[in-house]
Structures are given as structure tokens and as C-alpha cells.
Chain A
């Protein structure tokens, strides 16, 4: 469905290519962490807290240790080292130290000959708890805690359980609200959703007799695991090797270094044998790190010119038990609302609190989804109140390309208006909006998202991505990178970038990634950074090799290097195309007397952004943009929503591989619809009531609408071949576009997610009553 901007360019970029690991995955040949069987491996199991909040008065592991077949037991008393993904909030330990802070918190870990023994051993560990009051509602965590011992973490704002507070103000929001033509306010509540990836967490740790620790783990960020292992094990970084095997989905849920990874390492160091820990599904739910539930108060002002003159956001964020990425989340709930519209006055106040529930973290669309929903729904309401077309209202307010937002984000390529127009045209918007029969509706919403966080989590002068290439006499190209393919296709992307520059088919490429001994450091798969950053690094490395091949061709032919190009496995002198040679001939010459060609390319974001506190949050070398239109049918008697079709326009800069981009868009739509319509952690006190895939309602294929992907290729000047992200942004507009469509269908506004059929039914009935009230009044008058 995407049309390349300028004819069909040669090479593999822009082609619909199957992912390089697709065959292996579909045939079962792919090796995931649990498929790895090292000799002599012990089974690791974790004893978890049955309490939401309690002091550990004592742990007696002696009976477990005495059980035949038990090789090692560890508890928090033996290792109190703190770690955490963000250097500013390292509040985790491998195992609970002194107290437990959610149901499922790791208390002790056992390594045994088999699973049955390990489980029996867990039952033999005696833990003596003093139960503390649990903080389950975020509002309770705002208050001062009477007994400091009952604070969830020591480091918080004052005597409260507030983890992070952010206050930002650009322009004068109060004045904007006062002078506005129209102001809309809303209070929104968002439930807790999780990634529900297919592959449960799994880790193998092997501490060998050379004193080296190797860790295989289902992670999106091997490098952060590597760093955390240093802190917890005390081993030097060079004595630790982290490998990410094939990963079966992550969506942000595998981007923290995890306590179970630390526990596996400690168990292996203690027992001298490899230890594997594989989670069951309930453990995956308890480990969580999903989207932060929020309570969002928002006001949007439109001035007399129809411009968005004010955005006022106040968000209470329920962080659960740990910090995780929460400081970033707290910023993102605000700062990522300062677009894709030109918002002239903007204020944000966000508070993230600790509660005694499974920790929240990063999840696809990190931090941006809930505020985006509130903003886009209010825009729809404003358009309705003014009797305007909500798409036109948006078109009037979009940021242009090459501009700066009020909070000093540097905007470069931007195809949002084109996307909006194309989606309107393809969906027949003008003929449908407000004109569909009752029960049927259409709605629009937009979004934008970072394409890689411009600033790394750990301050460092190291590049954010580095790629190594090697070509030897066999003519194959080996790509080495620390990137983590988690199913999104980053290995394929690297191969494409290199193949394109060298004019080679994909079959010559072999990609080795995510092994810290073999591959250069990459910051990993989060913040939608890999295509942009590692893609650029790969391209740069390949360009060096290209130069060497061209110089070899120039030497062999005597023609100047400037005229040569590489395509279709040939090196061709373009002024005189009959002067050409095969790639292998050029390579053989290039290798003569020196051996394999080696190259290194890297990427580092350029300096950008403002100078104010928190200015770095949300900065990205470029942003993706989305304009969606969704059409729904609502059953007016049951309240069930059927999403019929989505026209999803996404500006990904350049679709390096349209199949992969469409896959991300469709997957994002599936995930977003789950948050809107069905997914939610339910709690009974501190216990997750639905920690399984039957009761946690991820939508099925049957609920998926038809999706028409409209790929907008704005051609980013700094992106590899013009590309930018497509993995997260496409999630943002699906929720509000469907919510707006529901309103168009049955006149019900949504303020709480997930919205159940019952909520919608109640809304419909309330409308009916109000209407008949009005009718009755008219009759009386």
C-alpha cells in the first residue's frame, strides 16, 4: 500500500521481505532461552511473597538446604546490592531485603536437580512476616506515612510514597484558559495493562571454573542486564557475558534488568553449576512492568482562531512497587503531549507514586498513551461543541515540519497532514462523519512518538549504537551488533541496511547480535530507537566497506573511484557501464595482502533541546506521526463494540520493509484495542485476580478489525534511508479514534478504560433518559 517516493529504487530497501528469522521461527528451529540445554543444569525456582507489604522477621532455609537434590538457596540477607534500570532510582535487589513490597516479590531462590525438588524445597523455607498496612490506591500514597518504617521505599518525596514529581510550565496556561473561545476539561482513569508477550521470562546463568559468568536471558536490553550484574555479583564487567537468544515478544516488558536474572546468577555462583529459571504465566503477570495506570485531569483550550492555545495536564501515576523506568514515565505522561499539534501554552504536573502492587514499567507507547487518549477525546468534544469537523480542526493545528515544539523538541520530517488527508480520503470520512446510521460511527485521532531517546540512560560518551562488519574471502557479510531482536525484526533491518549499501542480496548477510563478548555495545530495544540509531550505524559501517571495494575496483580498472557504484553484486563504473566486475572480483582485490575487511559504524544523537529542568525527557532525533480513522458498530442493546475497519496512516519516514512496518501497525492496533476494550489487571486486595491469559482478556484474532495501513514516507533527513520508528507510535491513536467513533455511533463519551459493554450500555441508557427528559420538558412547556 505504500508507494515509494521516487520510482522503484534498486536494492533491498523498500522491498517486502520476510524477516531473516521467519523460517526458523515458523518451523520451530529457532532457539529461545528455554530451548538451550546445558549439561548439568539446575532448575531454579523462586519463593514469592504472599503479602502485599510485610517485614521479613526471619527466614529459615535449613530444611530446604537439607533436602536431597537441593544445590543452593539464596536470600536477600546474602546480597543487599541495589540495582535498577535507571541510575536515579535503583531500588531493587535480587531478593527481598528486610521486607516485601508486593504479592509476588522475590523472597528466596532455590536451585535443585529438578523442578519437583525445587518446588518442594520452596515449601520447606520458613519465612516469618510481620504484615504491614498495604498502599493499594495511588491517592493513599500521596499522604504522609505515619510510621516511617511503613514507607514502601526509603527514598521518596518527604514522608510520602511519592517516587517522582514533575512540574513544567511553558507560556501562560492560565491566561490561555481565560482567553479561550472554548475550554474542555475531563477526568480520565486508565486501568493497568500488561504486555502479554508469548514467551515467558527465562534465564540461564552459568558461572564457570574460570570465574566467568555467562547469562542467557530473554531480554530486550542485554547491556543493562550486563551493568546490573556487575553491581549485584561484584564481578568485573569483562568477566560477565550476556547473550540474548531468540525472544518471543517483549513490548517493553523485558527491558529492565530483572531480579530473577540476578537470582539465577547468584545461584550459579553459589552452586558452581548452570541454573535455569523459567517463569510460569502467573509469574510473568506478577513480574508485570506494564503500562502505568493513571488518573488524568486535562483541560484543552482553543482560541478564537481555532488554534490550540492551552493544554493543562495533571496526572497521578500508579507506579507499583519499584522505580523501574518510572522517572521517564512521569515525564512522558506530560511532555509527549506537546504535539503533534502546535500547542502554544502547556503546563504539566505529574506525580508517580509507589504502591504495594506489581511494578509498572515501560510498555509500547511508553508514557504517552493515556494522556494522548484524554487529549484526542477532548479535541473531538471541542469539535463537536463548535460544530466543526474534528479532522479539519486537527489539520488546522498540526505542527509543520522542521520546527520546534513549545517544550523545545526538534521536529524534522513530519508527514502528519498528508496522513490525515489520505486517511480521510480512503475512509470516506466526509461522507460518513455524523452521517452513519445509529449504532455505526467513525472517529479520528492522531499521535506522534519518539524515534529513539536522544539521551542515554547512563551518561556516557560511548556511541548509542555501534555496528561491526566483516567480509572475508567467502564473500559473506557478517554483521555484529549489540541490538536485541525481540521479534520486531531488527536483525532483518540491519541486514537490509548493509545489503543496500553494498548492492548485495540478503542471502549474503549473516547477522549476529546481542552477545556482549562478540558484539559492540548497543543500548538495546527500547524507546523505538533501533532502526534509527543502529540502522544508521550499520549504514555507516557498510559505507566504509563500499569505499574499500570501490577503491579495489578502481585499482583493477584504472578508472577513478568516484564513478563506481555497487549494485546487483556488481561494481559498475557508471560513466562507462561496460567497465564492471563482479563483487567477488573486487572483494578478492580488496582482501589481497591484508585479509578480511573490517569496518565499524556508530551513531550518536546530535545535541538538541532546551536548558530547563527535565528538558532531555522526550527529546529524539526525529519523531513518527500518526493519523487514524476508525469505524465501529455498537450494539445498542448489549453495548458491545465491533471495530469494523481502521485506516491507519503512519509516517515512518521510509518503509525499509513494508511488511515489517505493517506488522507493527497491526500489532499496535491489536494491543491498543485491548487496553481500550478488555484488558485490565483486576485486584483483590493486593492480589492480581486474573494472572492468566484466560482471565486477562487480550483480544483474539476474531476481534481484530480490518486494517488499511497507509504508510507515509516523509523521508527523514537523518534516518537511515529516511526511516524512523514504527513500533510504538502506531499504538497511540487507535484508542481515542475508536472512542471517538463510539461517540459518533451512540453518543457515549468514554472516561474510564477499559470500557466494558456494560459501561457503554449505561451511557446509552443515560442518554435516552436525558433525551426523554428533554422531550418531556418540551411537552410540558
Chain B
């Protein structure tokens, strides 16, 4: 498939990138590894006339347990001994993204901003035209839940829930300056809006609280094939124990809705309680009741919801014993 024509810019600093983006405001995308953006461009999904590559910005390459630059590739995270020791949940999540080949170029920043997915959206121009397009690109009605306001495309990035569960924040920069937004507050809106990032603003990386390394964490991913596939459910759980009692517990999920979900409002009240089977059961039921996947991926919404419970229980049991 042929890419549409665009002008490629290669700045070497964040400020330069922001200036170029501002100059072409409204007709411009950033690109990092391109593993997501270029396929969408080939499908003529909202392509722009200007593309600003971030790959020449060395400042965004850092990798430590407290700061990860947006350009850090998932392969680097996966292979890092330090990360494996300090934050194994991120290594686990990174190693489950796409395929080894894609992870060589896929970046963390791109993963946080990966386009939401839907059977009716991730199609060629020919395909979409034959269906009359949809809300998310060129059309005015949703083909999954027929109405004209909301897009239900699923957020399908694997890193976001894992980072959220560690309490990470995104470091954003625009010509107006820098700001730091907790990942739990970064994502909002439907499958089209998705996040609070403003036009022309870029992600420099993420920041993690030093205490994150004290949490036990696990990431599991539901999908038909154990490689290549996007998550049908991506569940991240982090747990801190004080003796037999829960000190801290976070559960976050990808691929259930248009944004990654964090259930701190359900887990917060459990702090101080022992991690019992009945607690896990109750928490699972509450989460399952909360999530509302729709029918736009390979596995059925009903099944995906059911698996939240199974995964949650297995992961908590694993984390509970991991500490002993």
C-alpha cells in the first residue's frame, strides 16, 4: 500500500519540533517509530500534510526506573536489566506488545498515544468507502453502536495500564511550557478524543514515583495468539503489602473501553484489609460490572468481561505468593 504524500520534518530538539508543529497546526502529526501512524496513513486514516519525526531528539531517549523518555523503544525496556530488576511489570508489558520486530522500532511515547482500534476503522480507504465511512474518519455515524455522537474504538496500548498502576505521570511540553499530568488523568473522552494532550503538544516521557519499585506488579494480556495481537484485555495489577494487609493496590485495564481504565476508586477502600479470596471476588465483581466493552474486536464483549475476573484472581494470587 502506498503512503499518502506528506512533508517529513526532522528536528533535533523538542523546541524545534514544537515550532514546526505550530507552523503547520491542524495539518501535522508527530511520528516516533511509526509502527502505528504509518499503517493508519496507508489506510488514509486522517493523514496530514506534515509529519514531524522525533527520532533525532536525543533528549527523549532516557531510561531509568524514575524517568523513561518517549523515544525509548519497547525492545530497550524489555532488554534492560535494571528495569527487569526494579520494575518487572513494565518489562512484562513491553514484551507483550506486537512482535519482536515491531518492538525494535515501537516507542513508549507512541504506545501511550497509539490510535484507538475498531474493526470498522482499521480498514483500507476502499473498505471504508464501501461502507460509507464512520464517525472516527470521514463519516458521521458509528457502525458499532449506531448513533452520531460517540466513538467506541478501544484503547489498545499495553504500556498505559502498567504505568498507571505504578502511579506514573506523563511529561508534556508545548510552546506554552511544560506540564506533568498523572496518567490516570491523562486519558479521557471517547475513541476520537482519547486524552488531554493539546494540539501541538508532545509527550516527552513518563515519570515514576521512586516508591513504584516497592510494588509487586504483573501484567497479563488476553488475545488469541501469544504474539502480534493487540490486547482484547490488558490487565495491570500492582500490590504493596504490610504484613498480611494490603498497603496499596492498583488495578488498571486496557482494551475494555476507549481509554485505559484505573479502578483506584474501587481498590482504595481495600487498603488495610487482608487479601482474602472473598475480597478478590468482590473486587472482581465490581470491576466486571463497571467495564463496558463493545463488539468491535476479535473476542466477544461478554467473554472479555468474564476474563477480567479470571485474570484478576490469578494475578492477585500470584502477587500474594510472590512476596512470600
Contacts and interface: CB of A to CB of B under 8 A. Distances in A.
Interface of A: 48, 50-51, 103, 115-116, 119, 280, 282, 637-638, 678, 682, 684, 687, 689-691, 694-695, 697, 699-703, 756-758, 761
Nearest to A103: B130
A678 B298 CA distance: 10
A34 to B, nearest CB: 14
A702 B229 contact: no
B3 to A, nearest CB: 10
Interface of B: 1-2, 119-120, 122-124, 126-127, 129-131, 143, 222, 224-230, 298-300, 302-303, 306-307, 310
Contacts of A701: 227
A119 B226 contact: no
A697 B226 CA distance: 11
Contact of B225 (A51, A119, A700): A700
Nearest to A759: B303
A699 B143 CA distance: 28
A612 to B, nearest CB: 45
A703 B229 CA distance: 13
Given A638-B307, A756-B299, A697 B224 contact: yes
B125 to A, nearest CB: 9
B228 A116 contact: no
7 contacts: A50-B129, A682-B119, A691-B123, A697-B224, A700-B227, A703-B226, A757-B299
A694 B303 contact: no
B228 A638 contact: no
Given A280-B1, A282-B124, A637-B310, A678 B299 contact: no
Given A50-B129, A691-B123, A695-B298, 5 more contacts: A50-B126, A638-B222, A703-B225, A757-B303, A758-B299
A18 B195 CA distance: 54
Contacts of A48: 126
Main secondary structure on B side of the interface with A: loop
A695 B303 CA distance: 18
Contacts of A691: 123-124, 127
B172 to A, nearest CB: 30
Across the A-B interface, give the 7 residue pairs with the lowest CB-CB distance, nearest first: A50-B130, A758-B303, A702-B226, A637-B310, A700-B225, A700-B227, A697-B224
Contacts of B302: 758
B287 to A, nearest CB: 16
Contacts of A703: 225-226
Contact of B130 (A115, A116, A687, A697): A687
Nearest to A49: B130
B130 A700 contact: no
B131 A687 contact: yes
A684 B131 contact: yes
Contacts of B307: 638
Contacts of A761: 303, 306
Nearest to B5: A116
B24 to A, nearest CB: 22
A700 B2 contact: no
A516 to B, nearest CB: 32
A690 B1 CA distance: 16
A695 B127 contact: no
A694 B2 contact: no
A652 B224 CA distance: 33
A118 B207 CA distance: 48
Given A700-B226, A702-B226, A115 B299 contact: no
A101 to B, nearest CB: 14
B124 A116 contact: no
A375 B221 CA distance: 36
A115 B131 contact: no
A701 B99 CA distance: 12
A536 to B, nearest CB: 41
A151 to B, nearest CB: 23
Most buried by B among A48, A695, A702: A695
A702 B227 contact: yes
B300 to A, nearest CB: 6
A115 B310 CA distance: 50
A48 B125 CA distance: 12
Given A280-B1, A684-B120, A638 B310 contact: yes
A282 B127 contact: yes
Nearest to B226: A702
A697 B298 contact: yes
Q: Quick one: which of A280, A694, A701 has the most chain B CB within 10 A?
A: A694
A678 B229 CA distance: 12
Nearest to A697: B224
Nearest to A754: B224
